[in-house]
Structure 1
Amino acid sequence: MADKGRAGIDPRWIGGGLLAVGIGALAAAYLKRARSEAPGYRPLLTEGDIQLRAYPRLTLASTTRDGGREQALKAGFRTLADYIFAKDRGGERIAMTSPVLNDRDGSAWRTRFVMPEGRRPADLPAPGSQAVTIAEEPARRMAAIRFNGRPDDAAQGEHEARLRRWIAAKGLRVDGDAVFAFYDPPMMPSALRRSEVIIPVG
């Protein structure tokens, strides 16, 4: 018979309970990814983990923060979440989509949420915060490289450099700054997280 702790609880039950909580959190993360709408791009060319895509016109909510990338991303995420979940305004809630986009805006960092398909700036609720702007992005071609693991600055830089080499080898022209795309919530284990570097091309 297994030893019990001072409270008379079998330690194996505690371990099993923690494992169940962990599995439950992982399942919830997978479900969140599966249920989140993503932009309906059209693949034009796929070579391993790199893809050339045709994106439709997109409507995006964005906010910009100073500071380091990770801190700016967290603050920007909270601000945009308050907008789509109607915490800083009245009216309807807007469905969460994936991925969350993050890119440089001068010396600051911009975070963006893609609005659900079919939504245009004119028919979206006005933001309750001046920090949030709504704008359209035209249809364009984008090159993307997908990777797993913790999407820190080193990993992003490594994959961005590789994607730029691929773009040059294909005779394509870079037509904008790199965008970092995050598909999973923080509870997803790093090894299973899906992230991308996306670069517009001409």
Structure 2
Amino acid sequence: MKRSMIYVTGFVAVALIGAFAVALTTRAGYESAEYKVIETDGSIEIREYPDLMLAATDSKMDSQGRDGSFMRLFQYISGANEAEQKIAMTTPVFMEGEIGESDVSMGFVMPKEVAAEGAPNPKGEGVKLRERKGGRFAVIRFSGRLDSKLAKEQESKLRDWMESRGLEGEDSAEAAGYDPPFTPAALRRNEILIRLVSSEE
């Protein structure tokens, strides 16, 4: 009995390590939006982001992309654009809108080189190109399967931290996810970002 328990425990440990390695490898394989870390306090950072170009579409916060939003964006980077250009996947996927509300905007970040050359216009309806203005953000990082409830909880934690530091942020927040849908919840990297108001450069 003890031996079988050891085998089971060992198998579970190996499986978890394997899943963790796959998650890190998959995440590391994508170009990620650049930012400069200004300050770190545990799972919270103050970051400076440059302007980013996004391919965006309407989505539902709790749909996890199953409402067709993810596929619309994936089709765009797979060649459903005026140049029929294939565009590399990047991280994170931004979810912009009022956290806790159903309707948000899901956005893929255009690779730096594609943005510099000019991203091709989408074909058909449902996807649009737009700029995400750079600036200074307070950011909290956490794991789990991102939904409205978890996002709201983390936003509240972040706002409490900001208040303790005397930092003022915009009323709205945005969420960011770094992992594909098959990544286990415990290994997922999620973030809530709040743009700071009147921050010094």
Same fold (TM over 0.5): yes
CA–CA distance in structure 1, aligned partners of residues 69 and 43 of structure 2: 28
Aligned residue pair count: 183
Quick one: structure 1 residues 125 and 176, their matched pair in 2 at CA, closer, same or farther if it must change by over 3 Å?
farther
Q: Partner residue of 1:45?
A: 39
Q: What SS is found at the alignment partner of 1:172?
A: coil
1:171 to 152, 166, 186: 166
CA–CA distance in structure 2, aligned partners of residues 55 and 69 of structure 1: 23
Q: Partner residue of 1:12?
A: none
Identity, % of aligned positions: 36
Q: Partner residue of 1:181?
A: 176
- The reply to whether residue 130 of structure 1 matches residue 160 of structure 2 is no
Q: Partner residue of 1:92?
A: 85
Quick one: structure 1 residues 189 and 58, their matched pair in 2 at CA, closer, same or farther if it must change by over 3 Å?
same
Answer whether contact 2:110 2:119 (CA < 8 A) is retained: no
Answer whether contact 2:23 2:187 (CA < 8 A) is retained: no
Higher CA-based Rg: 1
Answer whether contact 2:44 2:139 (CA < 8 A) is retained: yes
Q: What SS is found at the alignment partner of 1:142?
A: strand
Which has the larger displacement, 191-200 or 167-176?
A: 167-176
- The reply to whether residue 150 of structure 1 matches residue 145 of structure 2 is yes
Could you state the TM-score of these two structures normalised by the residue count of structure 2? 0.79
Q: String of CA shifts for 1:102-150, please: whole Å, max 9, x gaps.
A: 1227862210011111433872111012211111222200111000122
C-alpha deviation, 1:31, in angstroms: 2.3
CA–CA distance in structure 2, aligned partners of residues 23 and 49 of structure 1: 22
Structure 1: where are the runs of 5+ without partners? 1-15
CA–CA distance in structure 2, aligned partners of residues 107 and 192 of structure 1: 25
Answer whether contact 2:141 2:189 (CA < 8 A) is retained: yes
RMSD: 2.7
Quick one: structure 1 residues 122 and 36, their matched pair in 2 at CA, closer, same or farther if it must change by over 3 Å?
closer
Q: Partner residue of 1:69?
A: 61
Q: What SS is found at the alignment partner of 2:160?
A: helix
> Counterpart amino acid of 1:143?
A
C-alpha deviation, 1:69, in angstroms: 2.0
Q: String of CA shifts for 1:1-32, please: whole Å, max 9, x gaps.
A: xxxxxxxxxxxxxxx9xxx9998776544322
Answer whether contact 1:45 1:52 (CA < 8 A) is retained: yes
> Counterpart amino acid of 1:34?
A
Answer whether contact 1:83 1:89 (CA < 8 A) is retained: no
> Counterpart amino acid of 1:191?
A
C-alpha deviation, 1:172, in angstroms: 1.7
Q: Partner residue of 1:13?
A: none
Answer whether contact 1:76 1:110 (CA < 8 A) is retained: no
Q: Partner residue of 1:4?
A: none
CA–CA distance in structure 1, aligned partners of residues 52 and 81 of structure 2: 23
